[in-house]
C-alpha cells in the first residue's frame, strides 16, 4: 500500500476539564492539545493527538514546542515522499532528537489513515486481538482524605477494575492507610510522579503493608540506577513511567532490575510502533505492561484503546470514560466504560468519528500544510 498525504492540518485545541486534576507536579483545570489530521488524495482523514501539556511538568515537551517541531520539521518530513507503512516514519524522523510526543501525534494520524485504507480497526492493524479491555481510573490529589474516599467510592460503584491514587511526601502513607481501610479488596496502586528520592526509602517501604499492585515512578524521571537499588528493598513492585522513553530504556530497566512492570504511554515513547516494540520486549521478558493516560481527548483515548488490545497489556490501564474528564468529547460515540470494560470498536481506523463541530468549538487556531508547500 502507498499512502500519499496531500495535506496536514494542525489544530490547537483548549478543553476545560470537568474538575481540576492535581498531581505532585501541578494542577490542571484545562487541557491544551494539538490535533493532527492527515488527508490523502482520496480525501480520507487520519487523526492523531499530541499529549504534551502546556508547561514542561511531565517532560520537557510542551504544546508550543510540539507545534514548532511539527510545523518546522516533522510535517515536512512526512510530506516529502509517499509512505508505505506507518513504521517508516520512525526512521524518517530519526534525525530529530527526542520530541517523542510530537512524533507520536503525527505517526498516530498516519496509523489511523493506514488502518482505514486497509479497511480494518487500528487495533487489528497493530496485531491486537482483544474485543474488550479492562480499565482503571486515575484520581488526582484531593483537598482532604474524605474527599478522596468519596471519589474512590464513586468509581468503585461504576465498576472500574483498578484505582490509582496520586501521592507525594506528606500525602502518602496515612492517605493510603485510610484508603485501604475503606476499600480492603479494591486493586490499588500509587503514582508518585518522581516525588521521592532514596532518602525516602523508609517511607516507601512503609507502603508495602497496603498490598498495592505497584508504585509508579517513585524516583527521578530520568533514573534507572536508583530504582534498581530501591526495588530489592520493596515488596511492592515498581512500575516505571517517565524513565521509559524508548525500547532501549525498557531493555536497560529490565536488565538492571529497576522495575517489574512498565507503563507504556504512546506519546512518551514516540509512537505506536515503538510502543509495540516495548510491549513485545516485555512479553518476552515476562514483565506485564499497561497503558497510562495523559488526560487525552477522544482521539488520543482511541489510540490508547487500540494499543491495549495487544496480549501483554494484562493490567488495567488509565483509559477511563470520556465523561470522567469532559462535558463533551471530540469523538462520537464517546468512550464509555461498563463494568470496568471498554468495548473495542470494530470500525476501520480508530473506530470513532471525530466530531468536527466540537473540534471547531475547542480550536484556538489552525494551520494547513500542503504537499506543494514543502516540495
DSSP single-letter state for residue 70? I
From the candidates 31, 116, 164, 265, give the one annotated as an active-site residue.
265
Catalytic (active site) residue 265: yes
From the candidates 166, 168, 205, 252, give the one annotated as an active-site residue.
166
Pick from 69, 130, 104: which is nearest to 112 by CA?
A: 104
- Cβ–Cβ < 8 Å for 51, 300: yes
Catalytic (active site) residue 16: no
Helices (H) and strands (E) in the chain, counts: 15, 15
Question: Does residue 241 have a known ligand-binding role?
Answer: yes
Buried-exposed string 25-58: b where 16+ CB fall within 10 A, e elsewhere: beebeebbbbbbbbbbeeeebbbbbbbbbeeeeb
Query: Residue 59: helix, strand or coil by DSSP?
Result: coil
Question: 144: which 3 cell numbers?
Answer: 482532604
CB atoms within 10 A of CB 283: 16
Could you tell me the CA-to-CA distances from 273 to 175, 186, 243, 318, 338 in Å, in that order?
Answer: 38, 33, 18, 20, 29
What is the DSSP code string of 184-229? Answer: TTS-EEEE-TT---GGGHHHHHHGGGG--S-EE--S-TT-SHHHHH
Buried-exposed string 347-365: b where 16+ CB fall within 10 A, e elsewhere: ebbbbbebbeebbeebeee
Question: 111: which 3 cell numbers?
Answer: 496509523
Question: Does residue 360 have a known ligand-binding role?
Answer: no
Distance CA 184, CA 47 (A): 41
Question: 271: which 3 cell numbers?
Answer: 509512537
Question: 272: which 3 cell numbers?
Answer: 505506536
Pick from 11, 61, 59, 29: which is nearest to 295 by CA?
A: 29
Residues annotated in a binding site for Mg(2+): 191, 216, 241
Residues annotated in a binding site: 191, 216, 241
Residues annotated as catalytic (active site), given as ranges: 166, 265
Amino acid at each position: 500500500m502507498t499512502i500519499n498525504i496531500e495535506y496536514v492540518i494542525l489544530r490547537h485545541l483548549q478543553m476545560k476539564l470537568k474538575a481540576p486534576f492535581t498531581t505532585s507536579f501541578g494542577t490542571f483545570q484545562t487541557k491544551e492539545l494539538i490535533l493532527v489530521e492527515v488527508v490523502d488524495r482520496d480525501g480520507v482523514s487520519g487523526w492523531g493527538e499530541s499529549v504534551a501539556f502546556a508547561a514542561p511538568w511531565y517532560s520537557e515537551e510542551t504544546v508550543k514546542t510540539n507545534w514548532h517541531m511539527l510545523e518546522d520539521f516533522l510535517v515536512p518530513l512526512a510530506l516529502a515522499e509517499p509512505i508505505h507503512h506507518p513504521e517508516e516514519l520512525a526512521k524518517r524522523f530519526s534525525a530529530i532528537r527526542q520530541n517523542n510526543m510530537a512524533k507520536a501525534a503525527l505517526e498516530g494520524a498516519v496509523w489511523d489513515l493506514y488502518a482505514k485504507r486497509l479497511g480494518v480497526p487500528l487495533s487489528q492493524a497493530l496485531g491486537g486481538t482483544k474485543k474488550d479491555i479492562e480499565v482503571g481510573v486515575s484520581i488526582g490529589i484531593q483537598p482532604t482524605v474524605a474527599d478522596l474516599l468519596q471519589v474512590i467510592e464513586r468509581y468503585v460503584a461504576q465498576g472500574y477494575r483498578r484505582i490509582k491514587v496520586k501521592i507525594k511526601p506528606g500525602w502518602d502513607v496515612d492517605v493510603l492507610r485510610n484508603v485501604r481501610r475503606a476499600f480492603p479488596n479494591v486493586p490499588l496502586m500509587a503514582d508518585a510522579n518522581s516525588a521521592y528520592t532514596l532518602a525516602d526509602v523508609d517511607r516507601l517501604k512503609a507502603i508495602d503493608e497496603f498490598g498495592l499492585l505497584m508504585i509508579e515512578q517513585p524516583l527521578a524521571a530520568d533514573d534507572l540506577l536508583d530504582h534498581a537499588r530501591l526495588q530489592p528493598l520493596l515488596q511492592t513492585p515498581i512500575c516505571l513511567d517517565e524513565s521509559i522513553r524508548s525500547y532501549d530504556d525498557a531493555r536497560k530497566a529490565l536488565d538492571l532490575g529497576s522495575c517489574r512492570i512498565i507503563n507504556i504511554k504512546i506519546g512518551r515513547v514516540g509512537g505506536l510502533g515503538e510502543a509495540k516494540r516495548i510491549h513485545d520486549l516485555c512479553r518476552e521478558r515476562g514483565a506485564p505492561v499497561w497503558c497510562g493516560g495523559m488526560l487525552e481527548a477522544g482521539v488520543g483515548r482511541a489510540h490508547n484503546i487500540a494499543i491495549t488490545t495487544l496480549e501483554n497489556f494484562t493490567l488495567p490501564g488509565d483509559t477511563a470514560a470520556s465523561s470522567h474528564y469532559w462535558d463533551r468529547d471530540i469523538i462520537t460515540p464517546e468512550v464509555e466504560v461498563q463494568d470496568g470494560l471498554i468495548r473495542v470498536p470494530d470500525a476501520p481506523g480508530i473506530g470513532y468519528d471525530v466530531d468536527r463541530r466540537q473540534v471547531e468549538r475547542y480550536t484556538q487556531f489552525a494551520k494547513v500544510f500542503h504537499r506543494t508547500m514543502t516540495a
